[in-house]
């Protein structure tokens, strides 16, 4: 894992205008990913993590902030939010995304073969000739452990199960050999039995290809297994980040602590403790620290100001006034 | 749907939902325009005798001194070929059209909905099969043709035109409700009510039907526009209302022969048709957006 | 083959519908009060003449017998004689139907091509002035009856501007092309008679346009909604992410799934064109099938009436089947689902 930065998000803000309200779903998120790193972005549903991911591939236009992508292959930095001219056109192939909904990235009225081969033809035109494309596709499908790739090529997405569709999506995303992969809850919509397989598959593939990964999920267990760095997100802000082992064994932010306690422990009595309250209304978010209404250790300053990051150790930073 | 809340809570809850719905509806300017047009049309239709300057012109009235006069302050839309005030006739024609639409829908909607409920609820049985096959056959018939044929064979009159339109319209409601009920009957609350021991009738009437109401209602308001347009087409051809009844289609047809000189005789009724159809369509679309429906 | 099974099922249902329709019309026509034979001759015709005609027309036999004769004749291509033109209805049809077919064909092409085009543009450039104008115009198109459009166009283009003719298929005096297909435009094209072609096109423009606007409005609304929805789908974003050039995405990967709802109602819309053709034919004095049909209806010319209704039913069925085929081709889920259900 190199120390060169491949992705840096600085002070990202995303405001959605819905009907008459302005929803401030992402409120000052900063993130750094290094080359070859597996970065986990974790938080509960609707905390804004998916939106962040979508900003990186320009599915969502950020309201302000910078997303800097340093491409080794292209040899330069590109601001994803405001790219210059053709730079994004070249760069976008280096950032691929896998979506939560298994069939989402597959066009329902074309066969897998058509889609996959078209994708490869344009994504890596210099790398392969026409005859090689089909071979490459079959190889890619084999890599994700899909049986009978020939049949898959002729199939439509609706004829395959969710797990198979997700494998195809992964195959397509990785066949392009991107430098950065964004995986947005790729296993959430799948059966539990399949989840593990997909995760292991993903893990092995990115390790072999040395792709940098931003793994977005609400499942802490997954992060602990596969992430080198974790960012804990709450209500559009990052509250704690660093090494997963550090953070999970020694959570310092009250929210992270709450998350840890919310995980049912098999060996210790069974029932888990929830975090009181509910996620804030994004059109009128709490002032200061966004977690303060639910925090048992709330102080006056928490209501007034947004805490900045305190470096507890090299691998552990927390945004909380308690420190 | 019909939970047992305390009366006060239920009332408050319903007022809240109504207010939400109201603000959502009014957010779209077109829906508001539609609603206003519809209300205007209804108002004009109901109060026609009081609103029009020459209510007697709506019947058999001739005044050869005033024939073919262009629009003026005395006759806003001009006069027609026997001296009747076009404006008054258009307003009375609205009354007629609305009456027609209401009658058709009252005749068509209850049986259509009932059949749809039965077919959907007893999905997969012979009841379903028979009802839907008959419906499909009616649906496979080209719509206007059936109306034309029936009207022509029975003789041109508004009554026959109405019957023809009814014959052609009811299958759509069956199909709409059938689709809704087929999916709704698998909902958990239906199963739950059945488990408690509710009769089939209760389930259909109190659980499933209320959930169909918004779709039915939306379709009805859209349909008023379509029925009126269909009636105008029939009258235009001569198969609908007969003289001297004021009817938009007939007026357009009569006036068409005098184009372009006496343009007002067909132009104003045409605009009249456009306004009423536009109004109901906009309203229907607004309702569809409000209830977030996709089935229509 | 699944496609074949799918089609034959639809065909069977449609034929059943046609039967039902023919029976309905037949029965209604025969039950009506009034005596068609007398009406055909005149109120003052001698009774024996009326009786004779009635026998000739078969009106004295019981209804099911009449229907049987009619049906067997029809299947053999004999639809009886018109009470008014006094010649076989089939002849009448052959004379009048090309005009209507040509009109509907032009209208259908205008409706489909421009409806989809405008709808796609509106969907692509959502919420711009282009989108808003397309939507407003589409709405007005949908809400205005075809004959109103016809009248307005005549007023504007023929009278005020004097650019286009008001009636008929060709200007009297212009050489009519020899009848090959009966479609004047095609005939003129085939024989290379471009003067005639120009004249024909001038005459068909307004009627076809009036006829097409309603359907065009429908199609463009559906296409717009569909395109604008699918544009935001993840698979389009993925396609972009792979670097697939935008034109290819728009014209192939976006268009195909988006056309499905549009094409689904295209069949109904084209059939509606045939129904609404009579309105336009009336306004523009177009010597077509619908006008013949209307006259048959107004005069209670039973054979002609039944034949017209049947023909229109057949056209409806054909249009629907063609649409079903296209939809099944566009959306593989439909043709494969149909097979799964078997």
pLDDT, tens digit only, all 323 positions of chain A? 557 888 888 888 888 887 677 888 888 888 988 888 899 999 887 788 888 888 888 888 888 888 888 877 777 777 777 777 777 777 888 889 999 888 888 998 899 999 998 888 888 776 667 678 888 888 889 888 888 898 999 888 988 888 889 999 999 988 888 889 999 988 888 887 888 888 888 888 888 888 889 999 888 888 888 888 999 998 888 888 898 888 888 888 888 888 887 776 666 565 666 777 777 888 788 888 888 888 888 888 888 888 888 888 888 888 888 87
Give the pLDDT score at C342. Answer: 37
- C16, C282, C305 ranked by CB distance to B237: nearest: C282
* CB within 8 Å of C260: residues ≥ 6 apart: A109, C226, C327, C330, C331
Asked whether residue B147 carries a pLDDT value surpassing 80, the answer given is: no
Phi-psi region of B104 (alpha: psi -120 to 50; beta: other; left: phi over 0): alpha
Least confident of B54-58, C127-131, C204-208: B54-58
Residue C256 with chain A: CB contacts under 8 Å: 109-110
Residue C40 has pLDDT above 80, yes or no: no
Tokens 């076989």 correspond to what residue? C88
- B244 prior amide bond cis, ω within 30: yes
- Over residues B3-25, mean pLDDT: 64
Q: Is C190 on the interface with A (CB under 8 A)?
A: no
What distance in Å separates the CA atoms of residue B153 and residue B193, rounded to the nearest whole number? 50
Provide the phi-psi class of B83: left if phi over 0, else alpha when psi is between -120 and 50, else beta.
left
Nearest-by-Cβ selection for C242 from A109, A110, A123: A123
Q: Is B137 within 8 Å of chain C by CB?
A: yes
Among the partner residues C151, C279, C305, nearest to B259 by beta-carbon distance: C151
Whole-angstrom distance, CA of residue C121 vs CA of residue C98: 34
Answer with the residue of higher pLDDT: C14 or A254: A254
**pLDDT per position as a tens digit, A265-290:** 666 565 666 777 777 888 788 888 88
CA distance B216 to B230: 20
Q: Is C240 an interface residue toward A (CB < 8 Å)?
A: yes
Segment among A146-155, A184-193, C54-63, C214-223 with least mean pLDDT: C54-63
Taking 80 as the threshold, does the pLDDT of residue C20 lie above it?
Answer: no
- B5 band by pLDDT with thresholds 50, 70 and 90: very low
Chains that touch A (3 or more CB pairs under 8 A): C
Q: Answer yes or no: is pLDDT of B19 > 90.
A: no
C234, C258, C263, best to mutate vs chain A, most A CBs in 10 Å = C234
Contact between A109 and C244 using a beta-carbon 8 Å cutoff: no
Is B31 in contact with B21 (CB distance < 8 Å)?
no
Strand order in the sheet with A64-71: A21-34, A5-18, A64-71, A76-79
Contact A92 C243 (CB under 8 A): yes
pLDDT at residue B280, rounded to an integer: 92
Q: Is B270 on the interface with C (CB under 8 A)?
A: yes
Contact A119 C242 (CB under 8 A): yes
The ranges assigned to domains in chain B are 40-58+86-290
Give the DSSP H or E segment for A180.
strand A180-184
The answer to whether C244 contacts A119, with C-beta atoms less than 8 Å apart, is: yes
Contact C241 A95 (CB under 8 A): yes
A122-167 pLDDT tens trace: 887 766 676 788 888 888 898 888 888 989 998 889 888 888 899 9
Measured between CA atoms, how close is B15 to chain C, in angstroms? 33
> What's the angle, vertex CA B97, arms to CA B96 and CA B103, rounded to 5?
90
CB B153 to CB C147 under 8 A? Answer: no
Per-residue pLDDT at B3: 47
How far the first Cα of chain A sits from its last, in Å, is 30
Count chain B–chain C contacts defined by CB atoms under 8 A: 130
Q: By mean pLDDT, which of A233-247, C53-67, C315-329 is the weakest?
A: C53-67
Distance between CA atoms of B87 and B90, rounded to whole angstroms?
Answer: 5
Instruction: Check residues C332 and C105 and name the one with the higher pLDDT.
Output: C105
Q: Cβ of C51: how many Cβ atoms within 10 Å? A: 14
pLDDT of residue C335: 63
Q: What is the pLDDT of residue A174?
A: 87
CB distance B145–C139 less than 8 Å?
no
Q: Residue C341 has what pLDDT?
A: 44
Average pLDDT of chain B is 80
Which residues in chain C are closer than 8 Å to A91, comparing Cβ atoms? none
In this structure, CATH architecture of domain A5-319? 3-Layer(aba) Sandwich (3.40)
Which pLDDT score is estimated for B2? Answer: 46
Rounded mean pLDDT of B245-256?
A: 86
Percent of chain B beyond pLDDT 70?
88
A202 sits in which H/E element: helix A192-209
> Which pLDDT band holds residue C340 (cuts at 50, 70, 90)?
very low
Question: Three-class SS of residue A32?
Answer: strand
B38 at interface of C, judged by CB pairs closer than 8 A: no
Is pLDDT of C182 > 90? no
Looking at residue C107, its pLDDT comes to 93
Q: Looking at per-residue confidence, does B266 or C330 come out higher?
A: B266
Give the nearest chain C residue to A108 (CA atoms): C257
Range ranked top by mean pLDDT from B244-258, C25-39, C154-168: B244-258
> Which distant-in-sequence residues (6+ apart) come within 8 Å of C6 by Cβ?
C324, C328, C334, C335, C338, C339
Residues of C in Cβ contact (< 8 Å) with B145: 275, 309, 312-313, 316
Chain C residues close to B144, C-beta within 8 Å? 272, 275-276, 278
Three-state SS string across C183-226, please?
CHHHHHHHCCCHHHHHHHHHHHHHHHHHHHHHHHHHHHHHHHHH
User: Is the Cβ–Cβ distance between C257 and C329 less than 8 Å?
Assistant: no
The CATH number assigned to the domain with range B40-58+86-290 reads 1.10.3720.10
Instruction: Tell me the C-alpha distance between C318 and C270, whole Å.
Output: 10
B278 touches C: beta carbon within 8 Å: yes
Confidence of residue C181 (pLDDT cuts 50, 70, 90): low
The residue whose two tokens read 């990913």 is A33
Q: Nearest Cβ partner of C237 from A57, A122, A172?
A: A57
Q: Out of A152-156, B235-239, C188-192, give the one with best mean pLDDT.
A: A152-156
Q: How far is C273 from chain A, CA to nearest CA, in Å?
A: 29
Which pLDDT belongs to residue C110? 93
Tell if the pTM clears 0.90, that is, is over it.
no
Instruction: State the Cα–Cα distance between residues C216 and C135, nearest whole angstrom.
Output: 11
Contact of A318 with A246, CB cutoff 8 Å: no
Q: Are C230 and A104 within 8 A, CB to CB?
A: no
State residue C216's pLDDT score.
Answer: 92
Q: Do A99 and C233 touch (CB under 8 A)?
A: no
pLDDT at C311 over 90: no
Residue C176 is given by DSSP the state: P
Domain boundaries of chain A, sorted by first residue:
5-319
Tell me, what DSSP letter sits at residue A129?
A: -
ipTM of the complex, rounded to two decimals:
0.82
* Closest partner CB to B142 (pick from C155, C275, C305): C275
- Is some CB atom of chain A closer than 8 A to the CB atom of C239? yes
Q: Which stretch of DSSP H or E encloses residue A40?
A: strand A38-42
Kindly list the residues from chain C whose CB atom is less than 8 angstroms away from the CB atom of residue B278: 139-140, 143
User: Is C333 at the interface with chain A, CB within 8 A?
Assistant: yes
Could you tell me how many helices (H) and strands (E) chain A has, helices first? 11, 12
Looking at per-residue pLDDT, the higher value among B138 and A248 belongs to: A248
Task: Measure B266 CA to nearest chain C CA, in Å.
Answer: 8
Report how far residue C220's alpha carbon sits from residue C265's, in angstroms, rounded to the nearest whole number: 12
Question: Residue B23 and residue B34: Cα distance in Å, rounded?
Answer: 15
When mean pLDDT is compared over B43-47, C162-166, C185-189, C262-266, the highest value belongs to: B43-47
pLDDT score, position C111: 93
Of B153, B154, B232, the CB nearest to C145: B232
CB-CB: which of C13, C155, C274 is closest to B259?
C155
A chain contacts of residue C237, beta-carbon cutoff 8 Å? 57, 59, 97, 105
What does each C-alpha distance from A153 to A124, A139, A150, A172, C313 come to in angstroms?
A: 19, 12, 5, 12, 42
Please say if the pLDDT value at position C57 is more than 70: no
Contacts of C336 in chain A (CB under 8 A): 156, 159
Best of C26, C136, C145, C323 to substitute, by most chain B Cβ atoms within 10 angstroms, is C145
What is the tens place of the pLDDT at every residue in C25-37? Answer: 676 666 655 566 6
Are the C-beta atoms of residues B59 and B52 closer than 8 Å to each other? Answer: no
Of C304 and A107, the one with more pLDDT: A107
Contacts of C239 in chain A (CB under 8 A): 107, 115, 118-119
In this prediction, residue A106 carries a pLDDT of 92
Mutate to test the interface with B, among C147, C281, C289, C299 (most CBs of B within 10 A): C147
How high is the pLDDT of residue B38? 92
In this structure, the strands spanning A38-42 and A95-98 are unpaired
Q: Which uninterrupted H or E stretch holds C116?
A: helix C89-124
What pLDDT was estimated at residue C115?
92
């Amino acid at each position: 894992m190199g120390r060169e930065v491949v992705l840096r998000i600085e002070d990202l803000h995303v405001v959605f205008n819905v009907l008459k309200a302005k929803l401030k779903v992402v409120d000052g998120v900063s993130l750094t990913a290094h080359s070859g790193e597996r970065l986990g972005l974790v938080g509960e549903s609707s905390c804004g993590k998916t939106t962040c991911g979508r900003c990186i591939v320009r599915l969502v236009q950020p309201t302000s902030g910078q997303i800097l992508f340093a491409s080794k292959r292209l040899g330069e930095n590109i601001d994803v939010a405001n790219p210059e001219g053709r730079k994004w056109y070249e760069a976008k192939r280096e950032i691929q995304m896998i979506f939560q909904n298994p069939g989402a990235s597959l066009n329902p009225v074309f066969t897998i073969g058509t889609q996959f081969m078209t994708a490869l033809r344009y994504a890596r035109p210099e790398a392969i000739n026409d005859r090689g494309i089909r071979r490459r596709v079959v190889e890619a499908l084999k890599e994700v452990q899909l049986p009978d790739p020939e049949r898959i090529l002729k199939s439509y997405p609706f004829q395959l199960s969710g797990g198979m569709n997700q494998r195809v999506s992964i195959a397509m995303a990785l066949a392009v050999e991107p430098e950065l992969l964004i995986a947005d809850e790729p296993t959430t919509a799948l059966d539990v039995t399949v989840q593990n397989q997909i995760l292991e598959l993903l893990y092995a593939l990115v390790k072999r290809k040395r792709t940098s990964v931003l793994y977005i999920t609400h499942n802490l267990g997954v992060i602990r297994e596969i992430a080198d760095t974790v960012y804990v997100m709450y209500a559009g802000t990052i509250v704690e980040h660093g090494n997963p082992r550090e953070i999970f064994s020694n959570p310092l932010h009250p929210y992270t602590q709450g998350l840890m306690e919310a995980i049912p422990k098999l060996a210790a009595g069974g029932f888990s403790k929830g975090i009181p309250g509910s996620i804030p209304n994004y059109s009128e978010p709490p002032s200061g620290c966004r977690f303060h209404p639910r925090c048992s250790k709330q102080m006056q300053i928490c209501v007034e100001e947004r805490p900045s990051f305190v470096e507890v150790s090299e691998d552990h930073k927390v945004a909380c006034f308690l420190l | 749907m019909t939970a047992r809340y305390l009366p006060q809570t239920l009332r408050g809850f319903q007022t809240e939902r109504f207010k939400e719905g109201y603000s959502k509806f009014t957010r779209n300017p077109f829906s508001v325009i539609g609603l206003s047009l519809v209300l205007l049309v209804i108002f004009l239709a109901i109060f026609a005798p009081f609103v029009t300057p020459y209510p007697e012109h709506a019947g058999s009235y001739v005044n050869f001194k005033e024939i073919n006069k262009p629009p003026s302050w005395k006759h806003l839309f001009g006069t027609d070929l026997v001296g009747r005030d076009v404006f008054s006739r258009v307003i009375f024609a609205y009354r007629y059209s609305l009456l027609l639409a209401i009658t058709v829908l009252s005749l068509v909607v209850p049986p259509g909905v009932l059949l749809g409920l039965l077919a959907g609820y007893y999905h997969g049985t012979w009841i379903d099969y028979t009802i839907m096959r008959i419906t499909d056959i009616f649906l496979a018939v080209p719509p206007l043709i059936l109306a034309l044929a029936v009207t022509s064979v029975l003789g041109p009159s508004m009554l026959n035109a109405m019957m023809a339109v009814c014959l052609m319209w009811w299958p759509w409601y069956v199909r709409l409700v059938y689709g809704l009920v087929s999916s709704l009957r698998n909902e958990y609350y239906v199963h739950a009510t059945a488990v408690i021991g509710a009769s089939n009738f209760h389930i259909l009437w109190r659980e499933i039907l209320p959930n169909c109401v918004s779709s039915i209602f939306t379709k009805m308001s859209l349909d008023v526009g379509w029925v009126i347009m269909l009636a105008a087409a029939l009258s235009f051809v001569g198969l609908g209302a007969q003289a001297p009844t004021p009817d938009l289609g007939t007026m357009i047809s009569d006036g068409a022969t005098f184009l372009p000189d006496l343009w007002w005789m067909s132009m104003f009724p045409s605009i009249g048709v456009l306004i009423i159809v536009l109004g109901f369509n906009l309203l229907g679309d607004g309702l569809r957006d409000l209830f977030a429906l996709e089935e229509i | 083959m699944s496609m074949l099974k799918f089609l034959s099922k639809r065909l069977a249902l449609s034929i059943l519908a046609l039967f039902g329709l023919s029976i309905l019309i037949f029965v209604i026509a025969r039950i009506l009060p009034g005596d068609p034979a007398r009406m055909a001759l005149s109120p003052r015709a001698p009774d024996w003449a009326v009786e004779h005609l009635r026998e000739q027309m078969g009106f004295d036999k019981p209804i099911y017998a009449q229907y049987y004769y009619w049906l067997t004749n029809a299947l053999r291509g004999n639809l009886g004689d018109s009470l008014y033109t006094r010649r076989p209805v089939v002849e009448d049809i052959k004379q009048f139907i090309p005009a209507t077919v040509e009109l509907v064909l032009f209208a259908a092409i205008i409706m489909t091509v421009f409806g989809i085009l405008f709808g796609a543009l509106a969907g692509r450039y959502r919420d711009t002035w282009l989108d808003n104008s397309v939507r407003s115009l589409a709405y007005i198109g949908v809400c205005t009856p075809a004959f109103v459009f016809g009248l307005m166009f005549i007023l504007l283009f023929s009278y005020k501007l004097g650019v286009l003719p008001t009636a008929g298929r060709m200007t009297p005096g212009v050489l009519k092309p020899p009848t090959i297909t009966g479609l004047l435009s095609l005939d003129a094209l085939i024989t290379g008679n471009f003067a005639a072609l120009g004249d024909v096109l001038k005459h068909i423009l307004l009627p076809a346009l009036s006829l097409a606007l309603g359907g065009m409005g429908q199609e463009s609304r559906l296409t717009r909604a569909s395109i604008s929805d699918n544009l935001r789908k993840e698979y389009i974003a993925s396609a972009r992410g792979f670097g697939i050039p935008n034109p290819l995405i728009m014209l192939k990967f976006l268009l195909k799934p988006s056309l499905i709802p549009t094409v689904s109602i295209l069949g109904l819309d084209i059939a509606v064109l045939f129904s609404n053709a009579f309105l336009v034919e009336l306004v523009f004095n177009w010597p077509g099938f619908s006008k013949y049909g209307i006259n048959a209806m107004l005069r209670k010319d039973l054979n002609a009436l039944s034949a017209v209704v049947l023909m229109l039913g057949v056209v409806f069925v054909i249009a629907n089947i063609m649409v079903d085929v296209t939809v099944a081709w566009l959306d593989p889920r439909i043709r494969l689902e149909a097979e799964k259900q078997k």
